[in-house]
Amino acid sequence: MSSRRAVLQCFRRHRRFLLTTHIRPDGDAIGSELALGQLLEKLGCAVRIINSDPPPSNLSWMPGIAHVEIFDGSLEQRGWIDQAEVICVLDTNTLGRLGALAAAVEASPARKLLIDHHTAPESWFDLAYVRDTASSTGELVYELVRAIDPNLIDTELATALYVAIMTDTGSFRFNSVTPAVHRIAADLLARGHLSTEAIHSAIFDTRTPESMRLLGWALRDLELRYDGRLAYIALSRRMFNKTGASTEDTEGFSNLLLSIRGVQVALLFTEIDKGVKISFRSKGDYHVHTWARAFGGGGHRNAAGAFVTNTPLPQLIETVLAAAPIYLPQLTKTPIEPASGTLSAEDASYLSALLHQKSNASPATS
């Protein structure tokens, strides 16, 4: 992979940049785009952000979000893509994940720069700043900004980076969060004078009544497998039609399943117009990215996704579940059970007296 120095030289040598990201962009994708775009503009570059899909509605408040364009296939947009000196792809290492933009990006004579934290990147890029142990693409963009000049981090840039990192770390609870990530967050809060409560509320306290009705319906059919270590729910088109919910309303459903006691792996199957989206989430050493890759997707060890077409929802669910032991053999292992039985009243009384006696004993002297 390319060095940070090579990427910084690219920023200084070129003046016309296109930024883009994956279909159905999330907080890390949008936040990273906005932050990098603001950095490049501060360096005097001409920048456009063009994506295949619109940002989710819970990010509509973000500073600079109005500058994010949706690819419409127009001659004007195609001309700009062809004339760009550098096309920077953020938060995905798979060309096909650019959606409708993929062909135009691939055909452009511009240099291709990849900034990403996913595993197993493809090889279509000319330059890359990639680290799959990073918490988020936002963390990598922060490193680039800081290497140029940390004083460039104002409120808008800090907000974009904080959103990117916070959303991709599950509000700083995933294993990808290191002491360095907390130091980055602290730096952004200080330089940007950010309100963590306001940002969190703007992103997460946005559920609609339709979303809650959809969740309630789905949870009625909650399924547990492998002694309760795997949980899944399925959202059919009928559920969406009956509740009036949209696919945006499913944000956070898969992570919610992980909050069930004993669950280590959570799956969310979402039936949409062109196929079924599968969200894989997990804890600890239950790595799901290779499992997702088997169905044409990918992602991180504990958070991945796939999109499958031409397979009915019930059939797909059983196919995915049948593959679980192949990619997660630990699911089939019998868990170590705690000692069976409960204390009798007599035993409990004895232990209580013993603990009381020890707590009142004089400390030993050396």
Residue (of 120, 125, 119) closest to 20 by Cα position: 125
- Confidence (pTM): 0.83
Instruction: Tell me if residue 227 falls in helix, strand or coil.
Output: coil
Contact status, residue 194 vs residue 185, Cβ threshold 8 Å:
no
Q: Per mean pLDDT, which range of 99-103, 304-308, 357-361 is the poorest? A: 357-361
Question: Residue 67 pLDDT more than 50?
Answer: yes
pLDDT tens-digit readout, 240-260: 999 999 998 998 899 899 999
Non-local (6+) Cβ contacts of 277 within 8 A are 247, 269, 270, 305, 306, 307
Amino acid at 53: D
DSSP 37-99: HHHHHHTT-EEEEEESSPPPGGGTTSTTGGGEEE----HHHHHHHHH-SEEEEES---GGGGG
Instruction: Tell me if residue 234 falls in helix, strand or coil.
Output: strand
Non-local (6+) Cβ contacts of 269 within 8 A are 232, 233, 234, 235, 276, 277, 278, 313, 316, 317, 320
Which parts of the chain fold into alpha helices (H)?
A: 4-13, 27-42, 75-83, 102-107, 137-148, 155-168, 179-192, 196-204, 209-220, 237-243, 253-257, 289-293, 313-327, 345-359
pLDDT tens-digit readout, 127-183: 999 999 999 999 999 999 999 999 999 999 999 999 999 999 989 988 899 999 999
DSSP secondary structure code for residue 231 in this structure: E
Question: Residue 314 pLDDT more than 60?
Answer: yes
Amino acid at 154: D
- Rounded CA-CA distance 70/363 in Å is 72
Question: Residue 112 pLDDT more than 60?
Answer: yes
Instruction: Tell me if residue 338 falls in helix, strand or coil.
Output: coil
Question: Residue 366 pLDDT more than 60?
Answer: no
The 10 Å Cβ neighbour count of residue 169 is: 21
Share the mean pLDDT of the chain. Answer: 91
Residue ranges of domains in the chain, CATH in brackets: 4-203 (3.90.1640.10), 209-332 (3.10.310.30)
Residue (of 157, 226, 225, 232) closest to 192 by Cα position: 157
CA geometry: angle at 173 spanning 172 and 178, to 5°?
65
- Over range 212-230, report the average pLDDT: 96
Question: Residue 345 pLDDT more than 80?
Answer: no
